[in-house]
């Protein structure tokens, strides 16, 4: 009997430990968000969004160019990553077991785990070295290449949820295969695919390493895709590692803006699926 | 003039339509197949681009890239051993911290959590994966490092007397292998815990019920009936976290101190392969320097490729077993 009591004590202790793990694991996120708000919020003003960075040493200034730069980079990346990713996802969902599909599925997962800096040196090798200078286009391509496998896998997953009966019904009504795929299957899974796209955008929006030797960063106003362009993550990196206190303040504010963008996109992604699946359950 | 019979026309039109849809079906299938082909193409292109660029360094320097520790750009010596060492050690520290925590929270969420807590806590942990690496770096520089310098490091070294082991000696500057390991642990945590949670949830109910019916306590049920079932999936999750940690660049570059030294002490600054590339690539002075950095990138590429492939294979095996 004593033994049984000991076993129950051990069991209780271990279960208690998992509760502690739960607290410890959520702590870093709350701490990071708390510090971002405490240290960043006071530096956020209208000027932060509308003004250019001032020369080092002068107080004030904003990150208008970096915010616009990040949006442009996201635009280029999405233009590359979304269509290819969705197309590849359609192929994987329709041709589940062909050698091409299986290889692609596996390699997409492997690509998802590829260090982003490797994507950066790849983009440098194909777009910066031959052209001779850094450009927004090279940065966008690096980010777009990172999006492709992400979007592919989420699209495929979402398409597999669509019941086969729906596809069969459309085919039986005489729809050609491509129309069945586009206007029935894709249409049904749309909310999920939008979610996947948003998650992918949220993930690349904060990437810094692939931009270091491609978009490079830019102190001045530039919206040309052929020229180096500023980006929020790059600016945060540059300011955080600079010795000037004033720039640290801006780095925190920039980080708060960046994380807000990322969190808003992530939350939007969750809401899109929830409303869709909620309706389906009702 | 002869008029064509009406039903002939009808048949012809139908045939035309079938031909058109056969063509558009072919076109559609070709298009999506081309999209799918982009992915293997991308992997091959990345491997080619990097290995071709790294070739001069590999052929000229050979294994000395990973076996020597003298990185002297002017003298033409490129030994990245400290960076390789730093990559492996910082990732190992990260896994040592993150693995028990991640498995603990996965068990909590799959077995013990009240239903109303399951979603929000799972979401909070998953959000860790959404935080950009540069934000982790910023937090590391201005919050974690001061904390390590003033409290954690002196506590480990003096209060716990761990200073007598070689791992916790030396002055507490702050930027260190330990700082990098902690940041990486936080970053790897969501990957390990979300995969672990999924495989734990996939363990059949009957497995748990059988253990409980045999008189096991709840912990014994988890230890003896649930975890063995989910083991290879959990290991897959850990490998996935390892892959993340090995290739992580910005946060590590910001907190590790960037000094190319091999030291047993976690308090000493270090270097990783990713941060070596991040720091020197845009200022590479000559072709061999650039090629050596590409070679470091190539090694990183191969290591993470292998780790990820094993991780995917392990997770895939579990999910396949579950289907059977």
Q: How confident is the model at residue A62 (pLDDT cuts 50, 70, 90)?
A: confident
**A21 close contact with B: CB closer than 8 A:** yes
Cβ distance of A25 and B125 shorter than 8 Å: yes
**A61 close contact with B: CB closer than 8 A:** no
Cβ distance of B244 and A32 shorter than 8 Å: no
**pLDDT higher than threshold 70 for residue B323:** no
Residues of B with CB below 8 A from A122's CB? Answer: 45-46, 49-50
pLDDT at B103: 95
Domain ranges of chain A: 2-43, 48-281
Q: What residues have CB less than 8 Å from A137, skipping those under 6 apart?
A: A76, A127, A225, A226
Looking at the domain A48-281, which fold is it? Answer: MetI-like fold (1.10.3720)
pLDDT at B324: 34
**A242 close contact with B: CB closer than 8 A:** no
User: Of A117, A123, A89, A104, nearest to A196 (Cα)?
Assistant: A89
Residue A244 Cα, gap to closest chain B Cα (Å) = 13
Tokens of A259: 């994380």
- Mean pLDDT, range B121-147, rounded to an integer: 93
CB pairs under 8 A between A and B: 264
Q: How far apart are CA A147 and CA A141, in angstroms?
A: 10
Q: How far apart are CA A106 and CA A98, in angstroms?
A: 12
- Mean pLDDT, range B191-200, rounded to an integer: 92
Stated pTM of the model: 0.91
pLDDT at A282: 29
Cβ distance of A29 and B128 shorter than 8 Å: yes
Q: Where are the alpha helices (DSSP H) in B148-176?
A: 153-154
Which residue of B33, B254, B301 is in closest CB contact with A240? B254
Average pLDDT, chain A: 90
Domain ranges of chain B: 1-51, 82-323
Cβ distance of A237 and B137 shorter than 8 Å: yes
Largest CA distance in chain B: 110
Taking only the tens place, the pLDDT of each residue in A146-198 is 999 999 999 999 999 899 899 899 999 988 888 899 889 999 999 889 999 99
Give the end-to-end CA distance of chain A in Å, rounded to a whole number.
Answer: 51
**pLDDT higher than threshold 70 for residue A278:** no
Taking only the tens place, the pLDDT of each residue in B261-275 is 899 999 999 999 999
* ipTM of this complex prediction, to 2 decimal places: 0.92
Paired strand residues for B110:
none
Residue A35 Cα, gap to closest chain B Cα (Å) = 8
Which residue of A88, A126, A202 is in closest CB contact with B35? A88
Cβ A98 vs Cβ B29: under 8 Å:
no
pLDDT at B5: 56
From A214, which residue of chain B is nearest by alpha-carbon distance?
A: B282
**A125 close contact with B: CB closer than 8 A:** yes
**A26 close contact with B: CB closer than 8 A:** yes
Q: β-strands B77-78, B71-72: how paired?
A: antiparallel
Residues of B with CB below 8 A from A148's CB? Answer: 38-39, 42
CATH architecture of B82-323: Orthogonal Bundle (1.10)
Residue A101 Cα, gap to closest chain B Cα (Å) = 7
Find residues 243-282 of chain A whose CB sits inside 8 Å of chain B.
248, 251-252, 255, 258-259, 262-263, 266, 270
Q: How far apart are CA A96 and CA A156, in angstroms?
A: 10
Taking only the tens place, the pLDDT of each residue in A209-239 is 999 999 988 888 888 889 999 999 999 999 9
Phi, psi of B71 (to 5 degrees): -110, 95
Taking only the tens place, the pLDDT of each residue in A92-111 is 999 888 999 999 999 999 89
Which residue of B104, B130, B300 is in closest CB contact with A17? B104
Residues of B with CB below 8 A from A100's CB? Answer: 33, 36-37
Q: How far apart are CA A237 and CA B110, in angstroms?
A: 38
Taking only the tens place, the pLDDT of each residue in B205-254 is 999 999 999 999 999 999 999 999 899 889 999 999 999 999 999 999 99
Which residue of B133, B222, B308 is in closest CB contact with A208? B133
Residues of A with CB below 8 A from B248's CB? Answer: 115
Taking only the tens place, the pLDDT of each residue in A138-160 is 999 999 999 999 999 999 999 99
Find residues 154-183 of chain A whose CB sits inside 8 Å of chain B.
176-178, 181-182
């Amino acid at each position: 009997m004593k033994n049984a009591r000991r076993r129950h004590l051990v069991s209780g202790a271990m279960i208690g430990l998992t509760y502690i793990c739960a607290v410890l694991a959520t702590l870093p996120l709350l701490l990071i968000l708390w510090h971002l708000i405490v240290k960043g919020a006071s530096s956020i003003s209208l000027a932060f969004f509308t003004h250019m960075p001032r020369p080092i040493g002068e107080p004030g200034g904003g990150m208008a160019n970096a915010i616009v730069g990040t949006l442009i980079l996201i635009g280029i990346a999405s233009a590359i990553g979304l269509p290819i990713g969705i197309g590849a996802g359609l192929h994987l969902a329709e041709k589940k077991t062909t050698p091409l599909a299986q290889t692609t599925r596996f390699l997409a997962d492997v690509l998802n785990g590829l260090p982003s800096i490797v994507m950066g040196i790849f983009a440098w090798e194909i777009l910066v070295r031959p052209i001779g200078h850094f450009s927004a286009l090279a940065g966008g391509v690096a980010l777009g290449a990172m999006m492709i496998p992400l979007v592919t896998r989420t699209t495929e997953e979402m398409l597999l949820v669509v019941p086969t009966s729906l596809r069969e019904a459309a085919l039986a009504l005489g729809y050609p295969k491509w129309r069945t795929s586009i206007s029935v299957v894709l249409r049904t899974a749309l909310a999920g695919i939008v979610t996947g796209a948003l998650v992918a955008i949220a993930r690349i929006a904060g990437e810094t390493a692939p931009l270091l030797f491609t978009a490079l960063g830019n102190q001045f106003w530039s919206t040309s895709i052929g020229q180096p362009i500023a980006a929020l993550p790059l600016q945060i990196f540059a300011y955080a590692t600079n010795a000037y206190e004033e720039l640290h303040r801006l780095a925190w504010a920039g980080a708060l803006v960046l994380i807000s963008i990322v969190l808003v996109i992530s939350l939007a992604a969750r809401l899109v699926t929830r409303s869709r699946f909620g309706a389906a359950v009702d | 003039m002869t008029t064509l019979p009406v039903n002939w026309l009808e048949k012809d039109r139908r045939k035309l339509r079938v031909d058109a849809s056969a063509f558009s079906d072919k076109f559609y299938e070709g298009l999506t197949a081309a999209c799918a082909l982009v992915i293997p193409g991308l992997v091959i292109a990345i491997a080619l681009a990097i290995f071709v660029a790294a070739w001069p360094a590999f052929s000229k320097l050979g294994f000395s890239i990973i076996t020597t520790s003298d990185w002297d750009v002017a003298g033409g010596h490129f030994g990245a051993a400290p960076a390789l060492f730093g990559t492996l050690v910082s990732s190992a520290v990260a896994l040592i911290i993150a693995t028990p925590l991640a498995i603990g929270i996965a068990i909590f969420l799959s077995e013990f959590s009240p239903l109303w807590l399951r979603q929000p806590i799972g979401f909070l942990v998953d959000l860790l994966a959404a935080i950009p690496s540069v934000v982790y770096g910023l937090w590391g520089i201005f919050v974690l490092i001061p904390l390590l310098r003033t409290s954690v490091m002196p506590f480990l070294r003096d209060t716990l007397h761990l200073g007598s082991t070689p791992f916790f000696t030396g002055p507490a500057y702050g930027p260190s292998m330990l700082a990098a390991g902690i940041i990486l642990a936080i970053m790897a945590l969501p990957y390990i815990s979300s995969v672990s949670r999924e495989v734990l949830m996939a363990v059949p109910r009957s497995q748990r019920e059988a253990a409980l019916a045999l008189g096991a306590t709840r912990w014994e049920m988890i230890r003896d009936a649930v975890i063995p079932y989910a083991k290879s999936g959990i290991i897959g999750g850990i490998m996935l976290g390892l892959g993340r940690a090995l290739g992580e660049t910005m946060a590590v570059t910001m907190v590790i101190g960037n000094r190319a030294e091999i030291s047993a002490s976690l308090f000493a600054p270090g270097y990783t392969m990713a941060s070596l590339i991040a720091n020197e690539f845009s200022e590479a002075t000559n072709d061999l320097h650039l090629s050596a950095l590409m070679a470091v990138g190539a090694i990183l590429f191969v290591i993470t490729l292998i780790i990820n492939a094993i991780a995917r294979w392990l997770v895939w095996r579990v999910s396949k077993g579950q289907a059977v």
